Amino acid sequence: MRYWRYLFLITVLGACKKQPQADLVLRNGRIFTTNESRPFVEALASLDGRIIALGSDNDIVSYEGSNTNVIDLEGKLVLPGFIDTHTHAFWGGQRLSEINLNQSQTVEELQEKLRQWIEGNSIPPGEPVWGVGPFPRAELFGALGWPTKEILDEAAPDNPVVLSRGGGHAFWVNSKALEMAGITGSTPQVDGGEIVIGSNGELTGIFKETAQDLITTSIPHVVDMKTNFQKAMEHAISLGLTGITIMPLTEGQKGFEVLKKLESEGELDIRVNLAYAPVQLDSLVESGAKTGDGNELVTIGPIKIFMDGSLGALSAFMYEPFTDNPGNSGISRYEKADLNELVSRAHTNNFQVAIHAIGDQAVTWALDAIEAAQSEDERKGLRHRIEHNTVNILEDVPRFSELGVVASMQPHITGNQEYRERRLGVERAHRVDMWRSLLDKGAMLGWSTDWPVNSLNPIDIIYDIVTRYPEQRLSIEEAIKYYSSGSAYAGHAETSRGSLEIGKLADMVVLSQNLFSIPKEAIKKTKVIYTIMNGRIVFSAN
Do 123 and 174 have their domain in common?
A: yes
**Is residue 37 in a domain?**
yes
Q: Is residue 3 in some structural domain? A: yes
126, 209: one domain: yes
What CATH number has the domain bearing residue 142?
A: 3.10.310.70
Shortest CA distance to 329 belongs to which of 314, 312, 310, 309? 314
Both 199 and 123 in one domain: the answer is: yes
The number of residues making up the chain comes to: 542
Angle of helix 476-490 versus helix 458-467 axis, rounded to 10: 130
Question: Are 206 and 163 within 8 A, CB to CB?
Answer: no
Nearest partner of 239 among 530, 535, 534, 533, judged by Cα: 530
**What residues contact 239, with CB distance under 8 A and at least 6 apart?**
82, 456, 457, 458, 459, 528, 531
Beta pairing, strands 528-533 & 536-540: antiparallel
Report CA 388 to chain centroid distance, whole Å.
9
Q: Which phi and psi (to 5°) does residue 268 adopt?
A: -100, 105
Q: Is 394 within the bounds of a domain?
A: no
The whole-angstrom separation of Cα 117 and Cα 433 is 37
The answer to whether residue 2 is domain-embedded is yes
Q: State how far the Cα of 1 lies from the Cα of 9, in Å rounded to an integer.
A: 13
Which residues neighbour 466 within 8 Å (Cβ) at sequence distance 6 or greater? 473, 474, 475, 476, 479, 520, 523
Q: Which of 216, 240, 263 is the last residue of a domain?
A: 216
Question: Which residue type, as a one-letter code, is found at position 110?
Answer: L
Q: Are residues 38 and 140 in the same domain?
A: no
In-domain check, residue 74:
yes
Span 310-360, pLDDT tens digits:
998 899 999 999 999 999 999 999 999 999 999 999 999 999 999 999 999
> Do 55 and 151 fall within a single domain?
no
Domain match, 142 and 179 both: yes
Of 193, 216, 239, the position where a domain reaches its end is 216
Domain assignment present for residue 63? The answer is yes
Domain that holds residue 155: 93-216
Q: Evaluate the omega torsion of the peptide bond into residue 452 and state whether it is cis, within 30 degrees of 0.
A: yes
Q: CA–CA separation, 305 vs 357, rounded Å?
A: 9
Same domain assignment for residues 136 and 188: yes
Q: Work out whether strand 43-47 and strand 77-80 pair parallel, antiparallel, or are unpaired.
A: unpaired
CATH number of the domain that residue 59 is part of: 2.30.40.10
Are 59 and 114 in the same domain?
no
Per-residue pLDDT of the chain (542 residues; tens, 9 = 90+): 455 555 545 554 444 456 899 999 999 999 999 998 999 999 999 999 999 999 999 999 999 999 999 999 999 999 999 999 999 999 899 888 899 999 999 999 999 999 999 999 999 999 999 999 999 998 899 888 999 999 999 999 999 999 998 777 899 999 999 999 999 999 999 998 999 999 899 999 999 999 999 999 999 887 889 999 999 999 999 999 999 999 986 566 788 899 999 999 999 999 999 999 999 999 999 999 999 999 999 999 999 999 999 998 899 999 999 999 999 999 999 999 999 999 999 999 999 999 999 999 999 999 999 999 999 988 778 999 999 999 999 999 999 999 999 999 998 878 788 889 999 999 999 999 999 999 999 999 999 999 988 899 999 999 999 998 889 999 999 999 999 999 999 999 999 999 999 999 999 999 999 999 999 999 999 999 999 999 999 999 98
Number of domains in the chain: 2
DSSP per position, 273-312: EEEE-GGGHHHHHHTT--TT-B-SSEEEEEEEEE----TT
From 194, 216, 238, the end of a domain falls on 216
141 in the same domain as 46 = no
Question: For the packed helices 360-376 and 336-348, what is the interaxial angle rounded to 10 degrees?
Answer: 50
Please report whether residue 31 resides in a domain. yes
Alpha carbons 248 and 56: distance in angstroms, whole number: 44
149 in Cβ contact with 178 (< 8 Å):
yes
Are both 8 and 102 inside the same structural domain?
no
Other CB atoms within 10 Å distance of the CB of residue 522: 12
Burial 503-516 (b: 16+ CB within 10 A, else e): bbbbbbbbbebebe
* Chain centroid, CA 20 distance in Å: 38
**Distance in angstroms (rounded) separating the CA atoms of residues 254 and 252:** 5
Looking at the structure, tell me whether residues 111 and 207 fall in a common domain. yes
CA–centroid distance for 139 within its chain: 28
Same domain assignment for residues 74 and 102: no
Residue 532 placed within a domain: yes
